[in-house]
Amino acid sequence: MSALDKPRRSLKRQSGQRLRVDPLVCDGIGQCAMAASSIIHLDRWGYPVIPAGELSPADKGRATRAVNACPRQALWLEATD
């Protein structure tokens, strides 16, 4: 097997992720902000304010904890392409 036959994983662009919230499902409980206080802030009514755009690699783990902490399942991670 030559070097040309090997898969080119390094050239493959990894897709990023962004955090999304469904405001109709969210009850403003605030568990997401407690799980990921560095990226999710609550507005004055207790609803999450999430960052716009792609998450940094360091924030992906925090965002995953926030998604898992939501009792209403109003948060999810979405791939960006």
For 1-57, write each residue's pLDDT tens digit.
Answer: 555 555 554 444 557 999 999 999 999 999 999 999 999 999 999 999 998 999 999
| Cα–Cα dist 80/71, whole Å | 25
The answer to whether 40 and 72 are in contact (CB under 8 A) is: no
Q: How many distinct structural domains can be found in the chain?
A: 1
Q: Would you state the pLDDT for residue 72?
A: 96
Residue 38 in tokens? 């560095």
Which residue range forms the structural domain that includes residue 51?
A: 16-80
Residue 7 inside a domain? The answer is no
Residue 9 inside a domain? The answer is no
Q: Would you state the pLDDT for residue 81?
A: 77
Q: Would you state the pLDDT for residue 1?
A: 53
Q: What is the mean pLDDT of residues 49-74?
A: 95
Q: Would you state the pLDDT for residue 12?
A: 47
pTM: 0.78
